[in-house]
């Protein structure tokens, strides 16, 4: 299968600025530099692109290319050195740290490679903890979220009593529970065997079909192939692959 053409030249979104109107994530000339050790590292340079509601985008690139830097910015864990970053039409640059914490809880559902579940809380309690930090707990809703990811028979299990795939499904339930406009997944299948990768991939496909916006960092070409579009990073520069780029069939 031939590779889709990588956009070169000016680093602009191939869809142009008209997409900004309905963009749930919009970056304009976003740069993130790290100062220290007597030098400045430009981890992300002049990134300009947007992601519209309902899109599934894969962020790819070799180690050190700026993926974590970009994810930290989109996840409101960090702010750009310069440029404009809007999440759900709100510019995050001007927010205080406290406002950013609140904003993050509202807007972003995180799915991590390392799961980051609280080991002494059950699956249900882990999901309810996310509700607690957002607003108030609602056990019935938390149970429904676990049922949605096929874990209705595992609500009382501790993380150590769950398989890797089941733990990742708890994370997905936790990410969904406050109904955020963006699901941000960092190597969601990085720690899973092939069978569990398939289960999680199918779950993400299901969420995408149901209108969720998914931004996913992955090294795995099969996972990247499931997304509608790829944003490839190389030495902190962004290259957007158009829709209809290389699609890879999921291994069965
Ligand atoms: N806190 C930091 N301080 C200094 N340099 C950093 C920091 N975080 C990342 N970098 C540098 O920025 C570049 C991009 O890093 P990163 O975003 O972690 O890449 P990736 O996730 O693609 O591996 C690397 O050269 C890395 O060494
Ligand atoms: Mg990284």
Tens of pLDDT along 4-63?
Answer: 444 433 344 444 444 566 799 999 999 999 998 889 999 999 999 999 999 999 999 999
Which domains does the chain possess?
53-71+96-241 (3.40.50.300)
* Closest-lying ligand 1 atom to the alpha carbon of residue 44: 14
* Rounded Cα gap, residues 127 and 64, in angstroms: 32
* Closest-lying ligand 1 atom to the alpha carbon of residue 72: 17
> Ligand 1 atom 17: the closest Cα is on which residue?
66
Specify the pTM: 0.85
What pLDDT score does 251 carry?
40
* Closest-lying ligand 1 atom to the alpha carbon of residue 37: 4
- Ligand with smallest separation from the Cα of 187: 2
Q: Is 249 exposed, middle or buried (0-12, 13-18, 19+ CB in 10 A)?
A: exposed
**DSSP-based three-state secondary structure for 79:** coil
Tell me the H-state helices in 178-219: 194-209
Which residue from 32, 36, 43, 44 has its CB within 8 A of the most atoms of ligand 1, so it is best to mutate? 43
pLDDT in tens, 129-178: 999 989 999 999 999 999 999 999 999 999 999 999 999 999 999 999 99
Given a cut of 60, whether residue 252 has pLDDT beyond it is no
Cα distances (Å, whole numbers) of residue 73 to 29, 108, 225: 13, 11, 24
Residues with CB under 6 A from ligand 1: 34, 36, 41, 43, 61, 63-69
* Closest-lying ligand 1 atom to the alpha carbon of residue 42: 12
77-107 burial, b if ≥16 CB within 10 A, otherwise e?
A: ebbbbebebbbbeeebeebeeeeeeebbbbb
Which residue from 30, 33, 34 has its CB within 8 A of the most atoms of ligand 1, so it is best to mutate? 34
């Amino acid at each position: 299968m031939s590779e889709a053409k990588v956009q070169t030249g000016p680093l602009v979104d191939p869809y142009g600025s008209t997409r900004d109107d309905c963009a749930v994530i919009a970056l304009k000339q976003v740069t993130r530099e790290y100062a220290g050790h007597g030098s400045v590292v430009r981890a992300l340079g002049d990134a300009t692109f947007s992601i519209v509601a309902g899109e599934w985008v894969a962020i790819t690139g070799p180690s050190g290319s700026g993926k974590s830097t970009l994810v930290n910015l989109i996840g409101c864990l960090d702010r750009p050195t310069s440029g404009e970053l809007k999440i759900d039409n709100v510019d995050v640059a001007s927010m205080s740290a406290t406002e950013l914490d609140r904003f993050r809880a509202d807007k972003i559902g995180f799915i991590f490679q390392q799961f980051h579940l609280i080991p002494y809380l059950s699956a249900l309690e882990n999901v309810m903890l996310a509700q607690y930090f957002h607003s108030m707990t609602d056990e019935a809703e938390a149970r429904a979220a676990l049922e949605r990811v096929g874990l209705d028979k595992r609500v009382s299990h501790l993380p150590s009593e769950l398989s890797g795939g089941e733990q990742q499904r708890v994370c997905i339930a936790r990410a969904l529970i406050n109904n955020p406009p963006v699901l941000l997944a960092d190597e969601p299948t990085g720690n899973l065997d092939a069978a569990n990768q398939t289960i999680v991939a199918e779950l993400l496909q299901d969420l995408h079909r149901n209108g969720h916006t998914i931004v996913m960092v992955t090294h795995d070409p099969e996972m990247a192939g499931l997304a509608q579009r790829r944003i490839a990073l190389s030495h902190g520069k962004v290259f957007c692959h158009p829709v209809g780029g290389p699609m890879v069939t999921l291994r069965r």
